[in-house]
Amino acid sequence: MSTLSQAPQPTTTPTMTMQSTLTDSRLRVVLLLDVRSGAEERFLRAYDELCHQVASVPGHLSDQLCQSIEDPCKWLITSEWESAPPFLAWVDSAEHREMVKPLHGCVEDTRSLRFGILREMPPRGEHTTRTRGRLQAAPRTGDGVIRHALAFTVKPGSEADVAAILAGYSSPESRVDDTTRLCRTSLFMSGNRVVRAVEVKGDLMTALRHVAMQPEVRAVEDAINPYLEVSRDMDDPDSAREYFMSAALPLVAHLSANGTPQVTAIRRHALIYPVKRGCGTAVARLLARQDELALIGTAGGARKGSETTPCPLLSSTIFQHQDTVVRLVDLGAPLDRDPALAAGVGGQRAAAVLSRLVDVPTGRDLSSEDGLRRFLADCDMVPLTDRRAADY
């Protein structure tokens, strides 16, 4: 199966926004830290131990620790990975959370940045670059919005109470600071699982911390705390950090059409896929590839006989953590109007592949439109609320 980095590139001006971690190009991770004064030696010991452990993680290539020459409290850790998927699999794991715990008492603030390596210069005196993996093939087009999701479960039997609490809260102030603001928050529920998707301009962690401290949000979080399957204490920094890390549902792909035709109504759906054990990344890759083909017209376009109709898929955002895969889609038509497109399969071959990667209940044959509609109904999460900033 092709990855996004292997997809055919349009020969004209890019027609869509593309964000993706599902590439096989090398990855550079940059971690900015503020180390507490007096904790430098303890921090170095913790880092040395962490380096010894992370060296055996599949996909890890190298690490480097730097200290600012201008402000000794500012430190920088850079690491290089074969590609993003193995890094994300590690950083989202319980193993990683245990590894970094010794750093928490030494560090006041952190910020993590991830970059695909697009170009590099060879060492002086060499005419070719000794690469240990692929470089990113071409620059992607962004829209300045960071997308992230959190997923958590509530105690069975409490779903109606939790849904009422989450649907009725007051929106916090969208402006965080001069450079960061919360653009949109969408909440969905399926069974006892809740998914909260956020869209932020600026710094994601700054926005999440800001929102978590707002009175309106704190009241909601306090109200649902008794119903959570895994308890948390947002007043305890370690507990709050553990919650955000374990609940994180990172973005792995976002695609949206530029110059989208005007539609009378845009319908937002969150689809959660019944992924088979160990197949989360494969499902995410398949869905991202199919959505890319639909948006560039090779799988959208003329779908009903010879009649050409605009592609109803306006944007697709895929979140994945291990075998939890959620696909957030904005559609210009009802979900069941084009069930193959809505489900993320552009043809019989893609439907057959998806059938092997997910648990398909009896009567949900993905090779037929009726089976796809039933499958979509199973995957479609119940919308609880969708709040947007006035100027977004």
Q: What's the one-letter identity of residue 319?
A: F
Nearby residues of 324 by Cβ (< 8 Å), 6 or more positions away: 151, 249, 272, 275, 280
For residue 127, name the pLDDT band (cuts at 50, 70, 90).
low
- Helix, strand, or coil (residue 342): helix
* % of residues, the chain, pLDDT over 90: 48
Over residues 5-24, the mean pLDDT reads 57
pLDDT above 90 for 65 = yes
Nearby residues of 332 by Cβ (< 8 Å), 6 or more positions away: 260, 261, 263, 265, 266, 267, 310, 312, 313, 314
pLDDT above 50 for 14 = no
pLDDT above 70 for 164 = yes
pLDDT above 50 for 367 = yes
For residue 23, name the pLDDT band (cuts at 50, 70, 90).
confident
Per-residue pLDDT at 263: 64
Q: What is the pLDDT of residues 130-156, one digit of tens each?
A: 556 788 777 777 788 889 999 999 999
Per-residue pLDDT at 264: 67
- Helix, strand, or coil (residue 199): strand
For residue 92, name the pLDDT band (cuts at 50, 70, 90).
confident
Q: Is the full-model pTM beyond 0.85? A: no
Nearby residues of 334 by Cβ (< 8 Å), 6 or more positions away: 267
End-to-end CA distance of the chain: 36
Per-residue pLDDT at 299: 42
Per-residue pLDDT at 302: 40
Please say whether the beta carbons of 328 and 317 come within 8 A: yes
Q: What is the pLDDT of residues 180-192, one digit of tens each?
A: 888 899 999 999 9
What is the residue-averaged pLDDT of the chain? Answer: 84
For residue 11, name the pLDDT band (cuts at 50, 70, 90).
very low
Domain boundaries, the chain: 15-22+251-383, 27-116, 146-249
Q: List, in sequence order, the alpha helices (H) in 176-279.
A: 204-213, 215-224, 237-247
Q: What is the pLDDT of residues 181-229, one digit of tens each?
A: 888 999 999 999 999 999 998 888 777 777 777 788 888 888 999 999 9
Q: 355-392 in b/e burial notation, b at 16+ Cβ within 10 A?
A: bebbebeeebebeeeebbbbbbeebbbeebeebebeee
Per-residue pLDDT at 7: 35
Over residues 237-245, the mean pLDDT reads 77
What is the rounded distance in angstroms from the CA atom of residue 69 to the CA atom of residue 54? 27
Per-residue pLDDT at 157: 96
Topology match between the domains 27-116 and 146-249: yes
Per-residue pLDDT at 162: 95
Lowest model confidence (mean pLDDT) among 30-39, 230-239, 295-304: 295-304
Per-residue pLDDT at 149: 94
Q: What is the pLDDT of residues 247-274, one digit of tens each?
A: 889 899 999 877 655 666 889 999 999 9
pLDDT above 60 for 76 = yes
For residue 13, name the pLDDT band (cuts at 50, 70, 90).
very low
Per-residue pLDDT at 300: 40
What is the rounded distance in angstroms from the CA atom of residue 343 to the CA atom of residue 350? 10
Decide which of 3.30.70.100, 3.30.420.130, 3.40.50.1000, 2.40.30.30 is the CATH code for 27-116.
Answer: 3.30.70.100
CATH architecture of 146-249: 2-Layer Sandwich (3.30)
